[in-house]
Chains A and B, each alone.
Chain A
Amino acid sequence: MTARAALEVRDLGVRFGGVSALQGVSFAVSRGSVTSLIGPNGAGKTTAFNVITGFQRPSSGEVRHDGVHITGWRPHRIARRGLVRTFQKTSVFPALSVMENVLTGLHLRGKAGVAAAWLGRRRVREEERRLRGEALELMSFVGLDARRDDGAANLSYGDQRLLELAVALAAAPRLLLLDEPASGMTSAEKIALTRLIRKILEAGVTVFLVEHDMRLVMGISDRVLVLSYGRLIADGTAAEVQNDPEVIRAYLGAGARADA
């Protein structure tokens, strides 16, 4: 466990009744890298994300973010540390416009409380102007600036996924967890997404990815972790993992192609 690790997970276990969703999982995500977590369906990838971001309490083990113990913290407190995630199922604020979605994501970058809302009208107005500016930047970063006044529910599936990304980026992450960001995207959209992830990385954000699209994963990842039945079975570079016999067996056993 080096000092350069953005995220360290040690001996993580999650049990649902008698079933082990995760068992003795340990790994680290180094700062400034792209790390991917792959594995057949039901391997425990999303459960791992849920534990790391506070949506699920682990039965055992610990999670450290930049060296700080965050196991069992509530999600909003973890987000406040700069550890932000997206969700496997598209998750936006459906009744709000694209602009309002991103503004809501910017919550942590504002300060106004109730007292300011009632008494400090000018300060609030200035803050709102600043936040709107930042929202515009984020929308153009993901390429949704032309759709800023559209309702989130009216966006295409791919655009909703981009909006999710903008909302997550609005929360000023240092470590960004993306749960299957490419699922449901067309191949053109996937290429744009890959480019976007590279840009996010260049902005100094560490990226941790759960993804089924192997071309995307192998093309972008510095490191690949493989989960199978709740256990970590491989941890290495894309090339190492692709040729790992146990990984091939896990995928074939689950009915998937190892070279997919």
Chain B
Amino acid sequence: MRWLALGALLAVTATAPFWVWNPYHLHTLIMAGIFAVLALSLNLLLGYTGQLSLGHAAFFGIGAYATALLTVKLEWSPWLGLLAAVALPAAAGFVIGRLALKLRGAYFVLLTISFAGVISLISVNWTELTNGPPGLPGVPALEVALPGLPALSLRSKAAYYYLVLTAVGLADLLCLGLMRSRVGRALVALRENETLAESVGIDGTHYLVLAAVISAGMAGFAGGLYAHYTRYVSPEVFLFSYTVTMVIMVVAGGKGTLAGPIAGAVIFTVLPEALRAVTSWQWQMLAYGAFLIAVLYFMPRGIVPTLRDLGRRP
């Protein structure tokens, strides 16, 4: 039964571009995929180590700007740009992680908020580099060039859908690999009882920095995918609401699980669009809020863990 459901889900996701005719709907699914990578990245910190980053949009934005600047201004290959979209945010994650050496809990939250604020201000005011509020148009599309074949541009929504789907799968596999090893156990140990973790030889600082680096790199990767998809980057990528959306996806979907953040990303990307189709904007926000409260009230551990337990009981 479980395998059947999983197989059906996989079949539906894998064939979506063939039966989702409306390009806007496909666009929504692509955004859901990008947010799924973001939610998985935030989940590494919030779900496993228990540290709340409220500056995650900064890593997303740094990734988007990194590849946009390198491909537009220096005409790098977009694939190298994507690589930089991982490396640069990961480096930023390292710095934040090191600064958080003695700062846990509320202080970590404040540190990440301030970091995101500073980066956002830079994107608006350092106009020589970032072109300020108008942003950077003309980010090139990704191309797949196999030897002997004409270059395949990932300009179509269907092609990009599959790229993003691969990215989500990869991000999920990376998280799965971590959680199935002692590295993942060390991260969870820090969330559960840091003193005890230290007393059995787990270097808290090392693993916290590690989680921050991987998480930031993953968020930056999502930013790079976003930049090459919309082909345009502006300071809007640093919006605080992006971070809040990520937190909602992780918490409502089920933090500390691998499927929860993905489910959360899909639900909370599709929901606003669905509401937009059926009602006026005043009611959209109200319905969104009511749904969120209902989820948190009836499923405090998140949608995925609750449903999983329901499926196990009979």
Residues of A at under 8 Å CB distance from B? 53, 55, 74-77, 79-80, 84-87, 91-96, 100, 103-108, 110, 112-114, 116-118, 121, 124, 127-128, 131, 167-168, 170-171
Dominant SS among interface residues on chain B: helix
CB < 8 Å neighbour of B201 from A93, A112, A124, A171: A171
Contacting residues, chain B, for A92 (C-beta < 8 A): 193, 196
Pull 21 A–B residue pairs with CB atoms less than 8 Å apart, ordered by A.
A55-B198, A74-B203, A75-B198, A76-B198, A76-B201, A76-B203, A79-B198, A87-B199, A93-B193, A103-B182, A107-B185, A107-B201, A110-B181, A114-B178, A117-B180, A117-B184, A118-B174, A118-B177, A128-B181, A131-B182, A168-B200
Q: Which residues of chain B (156-202) have a CB below 8 Å from chain A?
A: 174, 177-178, 180-186, 188-189, 192-193, 195-202
State how many residues of chain B have any CB contact under 8 Å with chain A.
26
Bound Cα distance A108, B198 (Å):
11
With A76-B201, A104-B189, A117-B177: A91-B195 Cβ-Cβ less than 8 Å = yes
Residue of chain B at shortest CB distance from A105: B200
With A104-B189, A118-B174: A113-B200 Cβ-Cβ less than 8 Å = no
Bound Cα distance A108, B174 (Å):
23
Contacting residues, chain A, for B204 (C-beta < 8 A): 76
Contacting residues, chain B, for A117 (C-beta < 8 A): 177-178, 180-181, 183-184
B185:A124 contact, CB within 8 angstroms: no
Could you list 17 further interchain pairs (A-B, Cβ under 8 angstroms) beyond the known A87-B196, A93-B188, A168-B199? A75-B198, A76-B202, A76-B203, A91-B195, A92-B196, A100-B185, A104-B185, A104-B202, A107-B185, A107-B186, A107-B201, A114-B183, A117-B177, A118-B174, A118-B178, A124-B177, A170-B200
B199:A85 contact, CB within 8 angstroms: yes
CB < 8 Å neighbour of A94 from B178, B192, B198, B199: B192
Chain B nearest CB from A88 CB (Å) reads: 12
Residue of chain B at shortest CB distance from A79: B201
Contacting residues, chain A, for B193 (C-beta < 8 A): 91-94
B183, B188, B200: most-surrounded residue (chain A CB, <10 A): B200
With A94-B192, A95-B192, A117-B181: A104-B174 Cβ-Cβ less than 8 Å = no
The answer to whether the Cβ of B210 comes within 8 Å of any Cβ in the partner chain is yes
Contacting residues, chain A, for B184 (C-beta < 8 A): 117
Contacting residues, chain B, for A55 (C-beta < 8 A): 195, 198-199
The answer to whether the Cβ of B214 comes within 8 Å of any Cβ in the partner chain is yes
Contacting residues, chain B, for A103 (C-beta < 8 A): 182, 185
Chain B nearest CB from A105 CB (Å) reads: 5
Chain B nearest CB from A170 CB (Å) reads: 7
Contacting residues, chain A, for B182 (C-beta < 8 A): 103, 106-107, 110, 112, 127, 131
CB < 8 Å neighbour of A79 from B178, B186, B189, B199: B199
Residues of B at under 8 Å CB distance from A? 174, 177-178, 180-186, 188-189, 192-193, 195-204, 210, 214
Bound Cα distance A4, B204 (Å):
32
A124:B181 contact, CB within 8 angstroms: yes
Residue of chain A at shortest CB distance from B191: A95
Chain B nearest CB from A103 CB (Å) reads: 6
Residue of chain A at shortest CB distance from B184: A117
A95, A117, A127: most-surrounded residue (chain B CB, <10 A): A117
CB < 8 Å neighbour of A104 from B178, B181, B188: B188
Contacting residues, chain B, for A79 (C-beta < 8 A): 198-201
With A104-B188, A131-B182: A114-B214 Cβ-Cβ less than 8 Å = yes
Chain A nearest CB from B63 CB (Å) reads: 20
Bound Cα distance A95, B196 (Å):
14
Contacting residues, chain B, for A80 (C-beta < 8 A): 201
Bound Cα distance A77, B202 (Å):
9
Bound Cα distance A34, B214 (Å):
45
Bound Cα distance A128, B192 (Å):
21
B183:A104 contact, CB within 8 angstroms: no
A113:B183 contact, CB within 8 angstroms: yes
Chain B nearest CB from A178 CB (Å) reads: 12
Residue of chain A at shortest CB distance from B210: A114
B196:A167 contact, CB within 8 angstroms: yes
Bound Cα distance A189, B154 (Å):
67
Bound Cα distance A118, B188 (Å):
18
